[in-house]
């Protein structure tokens, strides 16, 4: 059975270019990039080529890119490393109530260490405004972290408006952005955005799991979270996973034209929304400003877990929210104050460049069959 894989915000299939690159690195270019011999030098060249490729994706200088094991580690390094470096200037931080679990957990750790954290709740339109963020800033605010695209609802937050406003309201604050769900799908130019720290992850854009990157603006200091080596200019100790990183670079090189990809996503979204017209049993959770490749919906009366298994048996793969939540009730949808029946029946559909209209049709057919045949929960 051919899969209709519509869970691309959880992870993506590794592209052939990345597979080929990782295989080559493991077979032919397996050296430690810190070694002072020909095999090590070859690995170092591959490492730095990948750094240039990732930097180009973000409009950054290569020396501002630090490789990590993924988005979670990069978020932890940015948030904990940033706040702890600046704690003499203040111990107040600002984020949102709908961030990824790795961001939320890092702020909880800061609170355990005596920092204050203000978590902003999106408005009725699902968005966060610059006015909200600046109203939360204080003279002792040292860190502001706002995601670019929400991983469950697809809300796109206006960082191009928020960041200049924060610069005026709290010029001493570091500004971090989790761009894991945006990189490779939306154009990102870190220098014009004027962000201090920005996180991306390889496996969300067709690279293998186990590699990510943190952009660190030149001149920004972070307290390292990993100790014991001088790799990554002493910012992240440990031998770099060169096969994964080189594959990350190859996946970035293989990304399609963003405008063509966006048009493809909008065709898929249109197909889905057209197919849901008149389906009163389905409730869409669509923010006013949302990307076209993430859709959140609920089917009250049918539990998410039941729906997931039903669709999976028919070769249709979706999720009930963030994969990192592992089936737990969505903190994002809870923060948005959705009714319990909608949270308990929520599904997230997320597209990639390889999805087709047939995938959407199979999802729609599966939802209709589920509604017609499964027992409804009151």
Instruction: Provide the pLDDT confidence category of residue 321 given band limits of 50, 70 and 90.
Output: low
Residue 328, pLDDT score: 65
Chain CA centroid to CA 179, Å: 5
Q: Is 117 a catalytic residue?
A: no
Mean pLDDT calculated for residue range 121-142: 95
Residue 363, pLDDT score: 97
Residue 322, pLDDT score: 53
Give the least confident one: 104-118, 234-248, 265-279, 303-317.
234-248
Instruction: Provide the pLDDT confidence category of residue 52 given band limits of 50, 70 and 90.
Output: very high
Instruction: Provide the pLDDT confidence category of residue 377 given band limits of 50, 70 and 90.
Output: low
Sorted by where each begins, the domain ranges of the chain are 4-13+256-373, 16-253
Give the list of residues 6+ apart from residue 260 with CB closer than 8 angstroms, or none. Answer: none
Give the least confident one: 29-38, 121-130, 133-142, 255-264.
29-38
* CATH fold of 16-253: 3.40.640
Instruction: Provide the pLDDT confidence category of residue 324 given band limits of 50, 70 and 90.
Output: low
Residue 375, pLDDT score: 66
Of residues 15, 117, 324, 352, which has the active-site annotation?
324
Query: Where would I find the H helices in the chain?
Result: 16-28, 38-58, 71-85, 101-112, 130-136, 159-169, 190-193, 231-234, 242-253, 258-276, 304-313, 331-335, 340-344, 357-373
Q: Helix count (H) and strand count (E) of the chain?
A: 14, 12
CATH architecture type of domain 4-13+256-373: Alpha-Beta Complex (3.90)
* Per-residue pLDDT tens digits for 65-85: 999 999 999 999 999 999 999
Mean pLDDT calculated for residue range 264-291: 94
* Per-residue pLDDT tens digits for 27-48: 998 888 878 898 888 988 999 9
Gap between the terminal Cα atoms of the chain: 33
Q: What is the DSSP string of 25-56?
A: HHHH----TT-SSHHHHHHHHHHHHHHHHHHH
Is the separation of the CB atoms in 202 and 70 below 8 Å?
Answer: yes
State the average pLDDT for the chain.
Answer: 93
Residue 185, pLDDT score: 98
* Per-residue pLDDT tens digits for 164-182: 999 999 999 999 999 999 9
Instruction: Provide the pLDDT confidence category of residue 336 given band limits of 50, 70 and 90.
Output: confident
């Amino acid at each position: 059975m051919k899969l209709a894989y519509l869970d691309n915000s959880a992870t993506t299939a590794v592209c052939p270019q990345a597979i080929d690159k990782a295989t080559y690195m493991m077979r032919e270019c397996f050296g430690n990039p810190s070694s002072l011999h020909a095999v090590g030098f070859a690995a170092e060249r591959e490492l730095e080529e990948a750094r240039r490729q990732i930097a180009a994706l973000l409009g950054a200088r290569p020396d501002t890119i630090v490789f990590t094991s993924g988005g979670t580690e990069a978020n932890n390094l940015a948030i904990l490393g940033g706040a702890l470096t600046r704690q003499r200037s203040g111990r107040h931080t600002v984020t949102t109530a709908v961030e990824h679990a790795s961001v939320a957990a890092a702020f909880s750790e800061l609170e355990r260490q005596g920092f204050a954290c203000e978590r902003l709740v999106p408005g009725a339109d699902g968005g966060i405004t610059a006015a909200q963020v600046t109203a939360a800033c204080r003279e002792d605010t040292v860190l502001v972290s706002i995601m670019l695209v929400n991983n469950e609802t697809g809300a796109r937050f206006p960082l191009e408006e928020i960041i200049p406003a924060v610069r005026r309201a709290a010029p001493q604050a570091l500004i971090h952005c989790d761009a894991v769900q945006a990189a490779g799908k939306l154009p990102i130019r870190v220098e014009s955005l004027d962000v201090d720290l920005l996180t991306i992850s390889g496996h969300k854009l067709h690279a293998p799991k186990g590699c990510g990157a943190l952009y660190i603006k030149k001149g920004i200091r972070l307290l390292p979270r990993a100790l014991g080596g001088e790799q990554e200019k002493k910012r992240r100790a440990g031998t770099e996973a060169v096969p994964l990183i080189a594959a990350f670079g190859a996946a970035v090189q293989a990304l399609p034209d963003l405008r063509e990809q966006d048009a493809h996503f909008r065709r898929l979204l249109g197909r889905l929304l057209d197919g849901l017209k008149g389906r009163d049993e389905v409730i869409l959770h669509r923010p006013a400003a949302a990307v076209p490749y993430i859709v959140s919906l609920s089917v009250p009366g049918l539990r998410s877990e039941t729906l997931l298994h039903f669709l999976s048996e028919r070769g249709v793969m979706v999720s009930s929210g963030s994969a990192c939540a592992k089936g737990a009730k969505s903190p994002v949808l809870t923060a948005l104050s959705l009714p319990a029946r909608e949270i308990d029946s929520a599904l997230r559909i997320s597209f990639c460049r390889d999805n087709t209209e047939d995938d959407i049709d199979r999802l729609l057919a599966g939802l209709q069959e589920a509604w017609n045949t499964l027992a409804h929960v009151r």
